[in-house]
Structure 1
Amino acid sequence: MLNVPSAEMNNTGRLMVGGNFLPKGMNPFDFHTGNYFVNLTFFSFLELTYRETLLKTSYMTDKPKYNQQDRSMSIKLRPVKEGKWWPALAIGANDPFKSLGKNYYRSIYGAITKHFLFGAHELGVT
């Protein structure tokens, strides 16, 4: 469940829907967890994501844990597209709206990404 931002964008009009599952033996929590998401690239410079992370929480220590979903949205803008001599530049925010959830993953970021060709191979650096 690692999300590293980059300045790469999906093709315009691309819709991605997905999810993942993480068993309790592979995470620091004492329960199975996962998330699901919807990602839409409206334009070549704008990408939006909605995601829900499955949690089990308890507001009182003597009460049993119950299921909860942490809702979050992400936005990424790329004002500078990658060129031959300069990298792509993107700015974004993960979970910027406090009222939608617990804000476990709230962040604001900037990213630059440049690709280099080495013969038939390509290396992307962010």
Structure 2
Amino acid sequence: MIAYVTVGADDLARAKRFYTAFLPPLGYSLTEGPEGLSFCLPVAPGQRPVSPDFYVKPPFDGAAATAGNGCMVAFEAGSQKAVRSLHAAALVAGGTCEGAPGFRAAYSADFYVGYLRDPQGNKIALFSSNPEEPGRDG
């Protein structure tokens, strides 16, 4: 099980603006500290987390943050409409489009996805695979 994912950021204010455009609507709460931004989903008392936490932090070595080539973090939204809305909000909040929301021929018929880059260049996917919504072929 993945416990957490961390991406680097040189400008935490820009990163905060970008990530708070879509993570809180997906249920994540934000905790800020001198070490960076921590986004977590709620966990019932006495339970273990089932989804990983997401951290945005300056690199510990003090060097500039860089985006990994081939690395991507995906966040699940509840519907295709939510993917479109959150993708648009992330663009307004400083992200860049890496692929407009829609279906991709290479994926299953109900996998609806939009791709972004955060202000640091990290690749982010927002997707829905809700079987109750029309699929690519429906």
Q: Which has the higher helix share?
A: 2
Query: TM-score band, normalised by the shorter chain?
Result: under 0.3
Q: Which has the higher strand share?
A: 1
Structure showing greater relative contact order (alpha-carbon pairs closer than 8 Å, 6 or more residues apart): 2
Larger radius of gyration: 1
TM-score using structure 1 length: 0.26
